[in-house]
Structures are given as structure tokens and as C-alpha cells.
Homo-oligomer: A and B are copies of this chain.
Amino acid sequence: MNKMKKYAYGVDIGGTTIKIGLFTSEGELIEKWEIPTRTEEKGKYILCDIEKFISEQSEKKNISKEEIEGIGMGIPGPVEDDGTVLGCVNLGWGTCNAVNLLNEMTGIKVKAGNDANVASLGEMWKGGGRGFSNIVMVTLGTGVGGGIVINGKILAGSSGSAGEIGHIPVKDDETEQCGCGKCGCLEQYASASGVSRTVEKYLKAHPETDTVLSDDLSSKAIFDAASQGDKFAVKIKDETGKMLGKALAGIACVVNPEAFVIGGGMSKAGDILLNSIESSFKHYAFHAQRETEFRMAELGNDAGIYGSVYLILSDV
């Protein structure tokens, strides 16, 4: 490591806000900020805004360009190893090389990865996956996302779409479409919105169901009811856990990770859901993989800035 280089920035670009973290080159977070994502005019201001913000903050803190190891970026779209972004709907971007562009603006070394993958790397480095170098991160949010880290590096896939585990086909007779256009994807059942959809559909067909659930059919309400012993909610929780456990057993057959790290809004249901997933996993897992570890994610919304700065710090 170059001793002149004392700092690095981690940037996590989302559709609404851009999170920026300033880190020491030992990986300690010094300060973090959020700025709005200006998606107008095909997102042409996004990289300029990042450049401007970083240059202003560095000036404020008397950090010279020579002291900055680099800038890591998480981007909400497929990113190839050389930094080529293959289009990014949420930002308005077409195909471009975000790494080269930001590097030309700043004169600082830049690296980038897909946001979900970069968040997985962050969890491996400083979060729930600490101590492992082979993990599969499972993000249970509005959708089901994933990120795969092999020997401490992101598995990006040949077209940047490795770890798209929400779109594993799990059900043949589904008639409603997933956001991706297919029918029967994992995220139609195992995401927060998937769980709500399942419950809503069931209660409409069976209004006589004995449950405390009524108007609020958010996944939070459902898992809260399950933890209070509501039998219907417990059944839904078990079925969600079963489906996820089975899918993760299949994923383990492919990449055989040391651990699964479970995150995303729905993971706030905590042990009650995690236990269901893990016991289903053990049932469906290949014997050599039955002892795969399960961990809760720990970094929440900061996983992206940690992971993106790690792209820089792990490379020096």
C-alpha cells in the first residue's frame, strides 16, 4: 500500500439518493453523506455531482488528490469487469463506461460493480459475513436480490447478471407475471411484496380464515402476527421459509458457499424467519453442504458504501 494514500471513497448510487462514504485506507468509516440522484436528462449529471461532492468534501477536510487511494462505486445495473455499465434503467443510463468517465473527471483511480454484488462484498468484509470469503448474500426486499462472493471477489457473471437469484424458476403453474416478464420466479413468493401478494390472494379466496391479519398485509404485519402465534401467519412464514430454504439448497449445489447472509427489509422479521429458512435448507441440502452457515446481514443501507470502498482497498 502506498503510504501517501490515506483515504478512499465508497459511493452507492441508488435511483433516489447517492450514498457517499469517506474511509481511511484501513477501512474505517470517517463520515457518510447522501445526495439526491438527478436522473433527469438520462442521468447525465450523476457522475458530475459525485465528482463535485467528493472534491468539495476533500477540500474541506484538507485531503489532497494524492492522498486518495480511489473511488469505488456500486451501480444499480449490470457492470462488467472493465467498468462497462450495460444500461441502467433507474438512472436513465444507456451503455457507458462509468469507471473511465469518473476517472477522467477526477484523475483518481475508480472501480465499480453492480450494487447488489458490491453490498455482498461489504457484508463479507465488515458485516454478517465477516470471517468468510465465500458467501451468497440474499436480499429479501421488495424483490429478492443476491450477490455472490467467491474467494473474496464478486462473481459478476458473463453478462453481469450472476446472483439474480430472485428469478430462479420455482413454480410451474403461476399465471401472474413477475416484474421480469416470466411466471413463477422465486421473488413472486419470497420477497416482501410476494408474501403480501400470497396472503392477499389467499384471504380473498378464503375470507373465513381465522387470523388477526386484516387491512395491513405488509410482510412486517404478517411476520409480527406469526411471532405472536397467529396460526395462519405461522403457516405463511413456514411456507416462505420452505421455498427460500429449497432455493438456497439448489444455489449451494451450484456454488457451495461457506455461508448465506440474509438481509433486506424482510430480514427484519429476524430469527423467526431465519430459523424457518435454515431448517428447510437443512432438509433440502446435499449432505456435504448441510452445515453451510446462516448469518443476518449487519450493515443495512451502508453495505453498499463499505463494499464499494473495498473494491479499491482490496486491490491495493
Q: Give A residues with C-beta under 8 Å from B.
A: 78, 134, 146, 148, 150, 155-169, 180-182, 246, 249-251, 253-258, 284, 286-289
What's the least CB distance linking A230 to chain B, in Å?
25
The closest CB in chain B to the CB of A148 belongs to B254
A166 CB contacts on chain B under 8 angstroms:
253
B169–A250 CB distance below 8 A:
yes
12 A-B contacts, Cβ less than 8 Å apart?
A156-B256, A158-B258, A159-B289, A162-B255, A163-B254, A163-B256, A165-B254, A167-B286, A168-B254, A182-B287, A250-B250, A254-B255
What's the least CB distance linking A225 to chain B, in Å?
26
A134–B158 CB distance below 8 A:
yes
The closest CB in chain B to the CB of A78 belongs to B288
What's the least CB distance linking A95 to chain B, in Å?
13
Taken together as a complex, chains A and B put the C-alpha atoms of A181 and B246 apart, in Å, by 16
A286–B163 CB distance below 8 A:
no
A164–B255 CB distance below 8 A:
no
What's the least CB distance linking A290 to chain B, in Å?
10
The closest CB in chain B to the CB of A250 belongs to B168
Interchain CB contact (< 8 A) of A164 among B256, B257, B258: B256
A161–B284 CB distance below 8 A:
no
Taken together as a complex, chains A and B put the C-alpha atoms of A222 and B150 apart, in Å, by 40
Q: A150-B155, A169-B284, A284-B182 are in contact. Are A289 and B161 (CB under 8 A)?
A: yes
A256–B182 CB distance below 8 A:
no
What's the least CB distance linking A54 to chain B, in Å?
31
Q: A169-B246, A258-B158 are in contact. Are A164 and B284 (CB under 8 A)?
A: no
Question: Top 10 closest A-B pairs, CB basis?
Answer: A157-B256, A162-B256, A167-B286, A168-B250, A158-B258, A161-B288, A134-B158, A169-B284, A254-B254, A168-B253
